Structures are given as C-alpha cells and as structure tokens.
Chains A and B, each alone.
Chain A
Amino acid sequence: MKKQLIELRVNGESHELAIEPQRTLLEVLREDLGLTGAKEACGTGECGACTVLIDGKPILSCLTLAIEAQGKEITTIEGLVKGGELHPLQKAFIRYGAIQCGYCTSGMILNAKSILDENPKPSREEILKGLEGNLCRCTGYNKILDAIMAVSIGEE
C-alpha cells in the first residue's frame, strides 16, 4: 500500500513519518520510533498490554491506526519519567512488588495513571474495575492494587 506522510506527537516530541496507512499505532511506536515499552500480547484488544494514553485517555494501540493518532498527544511509558525522576506510580509499582515478569506493566501503569488523573481518590473497587482490561498472569493483581492505593493516598 502507498505510504502516507504523517506527524505523530509522542511524549512531547513531534515525529514525521512515512507509513503505510494500515499500520497500527503499536507497530509504529515499536518499530519506527523504538518505543518498545508498549507490548503486544494478543493483538486483538483483549489484554491491555499495548495501552498508551492519547490526550490522557487509555487506548489500545494494537487496535488504533497510527494515522488516527495524528494531531493528538500520545504518552507512552517512556514519557512518564520526568527529568530523570520516575513517576510516583512507577516508584510504587517497584516498591510494592507489583511487577513480576513486567510484560503487562507498561499498560498497567498507564491505565492506572488515567484512573488516578480522573479520580485521585478511587476506591479499591473503582481501581479494580478500571484495570479490568489489563491482564496480568503473574501477580493476581494484589500488589498492583496496593501500589495504586499507595499513590492515591500520597505514599510512594
């Protein structure tokens, strides 16, 4: 298919890219921009490992075409570190044992960020409901919940 010239704004930087229009945002982030933090685990929108934020909202980048993401602010896990400092959620995930194999972690942290951005003091149930689309096979979600709760009450 004929390539199209597009501009993507990712983690505050603009990138001009020539891509085939059928390519997903996940493919372009990973293969063209080298941002491999977002992962593919199912490719069909069932697991949440590919979650990134578009204008602050979590989306499944495996089901989103790169051309659809033009003119929007895309945030990936790589964009959460500011001035060498980890985001409080990243710190809490490490401290509370919320990471094991780590494959779901990027999507999980970004989704958690959007949950807290929308509602800084969510209940346990609201957090678990919000994370329903992010599968994790290692942790049973217990420590993930601990980490997010800790951030919501101001601990890291």
Chain B
Amino acid sequence: MEELSFVGKSVPRKDGVEKATGKALYTVDMVLPGMLWGKILRSPYPHAKILNIDTSRAERLPGVKAVITGKDTLGIKHGFVETPRYPPDQYPLAMDRVRYIGEEVAAVAAIDEYIAEEALSLIKVDYEELPAVFDPEEAMRPDAPEIHPSHPKVKEPYKNIGGKTETGWGDIEKGFADSYLVREDRFEGQLRTHCYMEPQATFASYDLSGKLNVWTSSQGPFIKRAKLATTLGLPFNNVRVLKAYVGGAYGGKIDLFSHEFCASLLSMKTGRPVKIVWTRQEVFEASRHGQPIIVELKTGVKKDGTLLAQKVRVINNAGAYRGSGVVVIFLCWGFVMLSYRIPNLKYEGYSVYTNNPVRAPQRGHGAPNLRFAVDSQMDMIAEELGIDPVEIRLKNARQKGEILPNGDYVRNCGLVECIERVAEETQFKDKYAKGKLQEGQRIRRGIGMGVSSYFSGSLIYPNASAAIVKLNDDGTVSLLTGALDIGQGAETILSQIVAEELGVAMEDIRVVAADTETTPVDIGSWISGGAYVSGNAVKLAASDARRQLFEVAAKELEANPEDLVAKNREIFVKGSPGRSISFSQAVAASIAKRRGNPIIGQGHYRTMKDVPMHPSLATTKGRWSDNYAFDAQVAEVEVDTWTGQVKLLKATTAHDCGFPINPILVEGQIDGQVSMAQGHALWEEVLMEKGKTLTTSFLDYKIPCAKDMVESHYIDVITEKYEKDIPYRTKEVGEGYVSGMVAAIANAVYNATGVRVKTLPIYPEKILMGLKEKKKK
C-alpha cells in the first residue's frame, strides 16, 4: 500500500496561528458601521398568558431604534424536529403564552447595550399566571396542567407527551422467564449544561436590496439559514449565513434560537446591523441545556452473564418545547442496542413537556446517561453472578459483521479488542480485585469500566455534504466546504485529505468554509458525520481535481494518466523522475487547450446512499448509520471516605474510530470528553426550583478547571483504512467517547467503596450516606 503523507499524521491545525495570535474573529467580535445592540426581554413566569404588551415607553427612549414582539413576526413556528408527527411547536417570539422562565417575549435594538438594557425595563407586559409543572413524571399525570393545549401531541394515557419512541424485538417475557437472574434498577441523570466559553451571539445585517447577512455562533450554517429564512418569510438565497469562529458549542448551538431571529428582524426593521450577545447569566438561566433522562432498566441474564432480555423505559424532561427531546428518546434506544447483543428487547421512551427551558443535544445526546445506567447495572449483575466485569462485557460485546436489529450492518467493530486492550493496559483485573480489599482505609482506590458505541453521521437536514477543490494558476489549491470548524479541527482534517489526494503541502491549501452563499451544502458539525460524510465529499472533490490534472499532464508528458503521480505541486511519470510538469503548467495547459477549463473538482457524499429517509423517531424502523464507532474506557479513582470526595486520577480510552485522520486532534477530542465526563459524573448540575435556575454562574456550576486535569491515555484500535480514490469509512470521535466514562467512574467509585450511586452527579454526601448505610448493615 502506498504510504500516506498527510492523512494519519498529527499536523498542526489550520486555524492555529489565527487563534494563537488573537486574530480569529468570533461572532462576538464582529463590527460594522452603524451597528446597534440588541437585548431580549424574557418571561419571569414559568407559565402564563400574555394579555398585553406595551412597548411605547421603550420606543420613546432616546437611542432606541426598534422594539419587536410576537405581533411583529409572521407567527411561523420552528422546532429542532419538523415532521408530520412532530410539527414545529415554538414561536421565535412568544405570541399569547409563555411556557418557561426566560422565554423570549420582546426584543430591542438601541445604539448601545446600556440603552437597550434600560429599554427592556420600560416594556410593560401584563401576564395572567397559569399553573405550571416541572417534574416530568408529575407532568405525565392526568391532573397535570396542560402545557400545549392546542398543539398536536402523541396519543397516550399520559399527559404532556411531546413524543414517544416504542420498539422491541424477540419475546421479552420468555427472555425474562428463561433468565437465571433478573435485575430491576432506576438511574437518574441530572440537568447539565454545555458551558461553551463563547456565549450565544448573533450579528445580523440587512440591506434594503432584501439581503440578510448573518454571523452566528453555531454548529453549521445551513440549518440556520433554512430556519431563519422560513420564520422570517425570506427566500433562502436572500439569507446568507457566514463563517465566524465558534467559541465552543458541544451540541448547544444547532437549530434556530430566538436571538438569531430577533437580531435578524431588528436589522430588517432598522436597516442597520444588530448584534445580540447573551450574558453568561442569561445562558445559564434561559438557554437550552442538556437532557436529564431517567432510565428504568430491567435486565435478564443467563448464569454465565449472557444477556437474554432487557426492558428499558426512558423518561426525558424535555422542557417547554420539543427541542431535541424527541430525538434523545430515539437515540437512547440506539445506545442500548449498539454495544451489547440483546436477543429480546422492549424499549419505550417518553419525551415530556414541562415548564422548564427548552433542551438541546449535549455531546453524546443521551449516551452518557444511558450508558451510565446500562454499564452500572452490568457491574451489579456481574457481581451477583460472581463474574469479572471484563468477562461479562466480552461475553456480550458486539462483533464485526453483525446485523443490528434495525438492519444496519456492523461492517467493522473493534469493541472486543477495545475491552481486552484497555483491561490489559490498566491491569484491570488485579486492581479491581485489590479495590475490594480496602475496608477500613480512609483513602481508597477503585477501578471501573464502561463501554459505548456511537453512530457516525445520519440523515437529518441537510442530509449531505458537498465540496469544491479549485486549482489556482500557481498550482496552489482552494477548498470550498460548507463545514464549520467549531474547534474539533474540521478545516484541518479536510485539508489533510486534499493534501493527500493531490500531493500538495498543507500550506498550499486555503480553506473557504461555512458560507451558505459561496460554499456547497454541509451536514453540519453536530451529527457526528464531519470526518465521514464531509470528509468523503472533500476526498471525491480532490480526486476529481487530480483526475483532471492527470488528464492534462498525460497529454503533455505523453504518458498514461495511470502512470502519473503527484507530489509537491509536480506531476511525475512513475519510474522516470525526469519527466514531469508542475501543477501550474498543467493548469495553464488546461486553460489553453481545454477551452478555458481552470480545473475545478467537485464531490458530494451522503451516508446510507440508497436509503430514502431518516429512521422513524417513533418506531426506530429504518437505517440509522453506515458506520458505528466503539470504545471501552477505564476510570481509576481515589475516594476519601471521610469527606466523600472523589478524584478521577486516570482515564484510559481504547477506541475504534476506524482510523484517526489526525491523531493529535483525536486525542484532543478524547481529553475534552473525559473532562466533560468528569464534571458530569462528579459535580455538574443545573439546579432549578419551580422553573427558576439557581446556578447562574461558573461559581455555582463547577466545570473542571486546570487543577482537576485527568491523566488521559489512549489506545487506538484501527479497523478501517484510507486508500486513494476509494471512499473511506472512518468513524466519529466527537461525542461517543465521552459516553463510557461516566459509567466507568461510577463503577470505580463502587469498586473503591462498595457504594452504588444511581443518581448523578456522585456528590460526596451520596457516598457518605452510602457508607453509613453499609455500616448499618
């Protein structure tokens, strides 16, 4: 096989210099002459009718240029999911009702932030408070207040059901009847939030020709354009969403947010650019956080630990609008199904409306919580059966070549190898045995394992990625891609692919990215398909450009195109290094002899080529992904049994991401996810009381800081390869890998202390109470 020069190498990121020197422009940095500042007025009530809004005093305040309310909008709803079963349910600005504290009621544009803020205090809104409900299981009761009385819902004996996923296979009752051991447990996840360092921010500039330019801190411009254009009643080609650097997103900046709509509409009203930047307090109080799910898990196994049956019930507290709640209950089914073989399954997931802020995906989109439940229970079962945690996982782990219950083919799967290698490298069995022998010691060590699997790109709007690779006259290259680099390194890995295919240096490639007007469509940096779907589109575009170059060069060199190779912007005849022409000469020849053809390569790609649509969120029927990534993670912890404090000392991740296009970027993704899992497992929780957020700053909501850094080790399990001219199947690394670590930490805490915590986070008091309980026994 030809040796690779760029793919598979830890080349430095393309945007490194701009970011290291402070020159990278984020949405918050954008400025245009005549710019106004926008601010949003939010509901103080969790559930209320809006009787009247009087904006006249605000409008009269000197410096205020526009005030908008729901009446100024077209009243077109939007939603994360927009399907016949789940039609959009949220107005971009509240019309007659508010359903959570923080819902957007009005917006102001003024000459500075202070005046805009003052104007908000002059808007008078008359509300009539309505009964509210915050807990999902309370909201399901027949006597609960109805949050969406006139909106189509899923028919269920329960109230406030925003969505339901129901699926299964085999004979669940027989599975349990045949089981040697059946366990039932309930696990609860907490409400977490993304903590992207750049707050939500949008800068919109409308001109009277009818054109709206928007810079927004997001995860991909094409979904933003679609939803902005639809809600504003503009044709798609009049809305241009442009690239700005993004200061972190992790799932929290995907579909339309009200401030993006408001900045746009305020700019349309005033004819001036309008910038809206949320305060950190606003982000904590009113932005979309992650999904706090409850998992009820009944599992039956044979005496040797083989899974026979699993009954899973997931309840998601979706907040006041559907958000991604109906997606997370679909995905949780997948996160049950992927890692272990389950011959008989019954799954039901409910997404429940409550009077809480709307919810968004957060890195892993349900997987960390779901895997926490499944893999915690797996350890409990192993202990009851007297089986080692490694062996029980090996016995049930998915293997290469299996067909999943939804029809997807697991073409390659390194899960068994991941489990074996991570166990070996961490000396798991020795340490696990020692973990149980520390009774009486104050400081105890523990080790635990979790596994996870994740899809790599699925079908959701805009479903596909395309790319253009242009040759310049001097032989350098421009890559046009709709992909948005949100920190994961999209522009870098896409450039590596171009460099590999064309034989040009990284610095010979300039990337034009994430601009709905000038770059081709891209699926976005939020569906775990960047490396796979966008990467293959770029690969095809680059190889198309190379094919054209070689056609021209073959004529000039009197050789066959098959005998040519490209390196350093030169095309050589294999075996005769003297015979060559430069890219620059080939481009000139193409223009001179092929009627001006300057050589432009094109490529496009979609996951699951022949599948007409996305899988059913209701029934899970239909293909989901071409590619699944797998990992096994081990956590090593230290617990102080006097204080209940847990330290995550070391995280080891054995992962099958296909092959790493850029190892240092893959490591960076793993480190970031380990860190996020550390916070998820141990500290992070958005506390709310009756719909009001109590944790409104980084002082109240602790995310890991430098002092908490976890030693992170990586084991690559390579299952795929990259070859020229053939689409490849690398897998995702952006979010699945966080998902085994939360369970691994919980299992390690148990190994150290004998305390099983089933509700996250594992606060010190839960450990102390558990130790106390144990003593009583």
Contacts and interface: CB of A to CB of B under 8 A. Distances in A.
A102 B25 CA distance: 10
Contacts of A145: 706, 709
Given A36-B22, A97-B667, A132 B707 contact: yes
Given A41-B197, A94-B13, A138-B248, A36 B280 contact: no
B248 A93 contact: no
Interface in A23-72: 30, 34-44, 46-47, 49
Interface in B472-487: 486-487
Given A44-B697, A46-B697, A86-B21, A101 B486 contact: yes
A116 interface: no
Given A41-B280, A128-B706, A137-B672, A99 B13 contact: yes
Given A46-B699, A99-B16, A100-B487, A129 B707 contact: yes
B595 interface: no
Contacts of B18: 102
B664 interface: yes
A68 B703 CA distance: 31
Interface string A105-132: 1100100000000000000000111111
B368 interface: no
Interface residues of B, number: 57
Contacts of A77: 20-22
A30 B698 CA distance: 23
B611 interface: no
Interface string B107-138: 00000000000000000000000000000000
A66 to B, nearest CB: 16
B198 A101 contact: yes
Contacts of B699: 46
A90 interface: yes
Interface residues of A, number: 56
B712 interface: yes
Contact of A99 (B20, B199, B486, B709): B20
A22 B250 CA distance: 35
Interface string B1-34: 0000000001011011111111111101101000
Nearest to A130: B706
B45 interface: no
B248 A137 contact: yes
A95 interface: yes
A135 B487 contact: no
Contacts of A35: 22
B196 interface: yes
B17 A86 contact: yes
B15 A102 contact: yes
A155 B14 CA distance: 21
A37 B23 contact: yes
A138 B668 contact: yes
Contacts of A81: 21
B26 A39 contact: yes
B22 A106 contact: yes
B712 A140 contact: yes
Contacts of B664: 96-97, 143
B123 to A, nearest CB: 23
A104 interface: yes
B55 interface: no
A142 B672 CA distance: 9
A80 interface: yes
A143 B16 CA distance: 14
A97 B246 contact: no
B193 to A, nearest CB: 11
B307 interface: no
A142 B10 CA distance: 16
B568 interface: no
A90 B697 contact: no
Contacts of B764: none
Contact of B20 (A39, A43, A90): A90
A39 B198 contact: yes
Contacts of A86: 17, 20-21
A101 B197 contact: yes
A15 to B, nearest CB: 17
Nearest to B667: A97
A97 B488 CA distance: 11
A4 interface: no
A41 B199 contact: yes
Contacts of B441: none
Contacts of B197: 39, 41, 47, 49, 101, 103-104, 135-137
Contact of B12 (A95, A100, A133, A137): A95
A81 B29 CA distance: 20
Contacts of B12: 94-95, 97
A100 to B, nearest CB: 4
A109 B699 CA distance: 23
B195 interface: yes
B248 A101 contact: yes
A47 B12 CA distance: 26
B194 to A, nearest CB: 8
Given A41-B247, A102-B487, A137-B248, 5 more contacts: A41-B280, A97-B13, A101-B196, A102-B247, A103-B196
Interchain residue pairs A-B with the least CB separation, the first 8: A37-B22, A103-B247, A101-B487, A102-B19, A140-B675, A94-B16, A77-B22, A140-B671
Interface of B: 10, 12-13, 15-26, 28-29, 31, 194-199, 245-250, 279-280, 486-489, 664-665, 667-668, 671-676, 697-699, 703-707, 709-710, 712
29 contacts: A36-B28, A37-B21, A41-B197, A46-B697, A77-B22, A86-B17, A86-B21, A93-B16, A96-B664, A97-B13, A100-B487, A100-B489, A100-B668, A101-B246, A101-B486, A102-B15, A102-B18, A102-B19, A102-B20, A102-B487, A103-B198, A103-B247, A128-B709, A131-B705, A131-B706, A138-B487, A140-B675, A141-B706, A142-B710
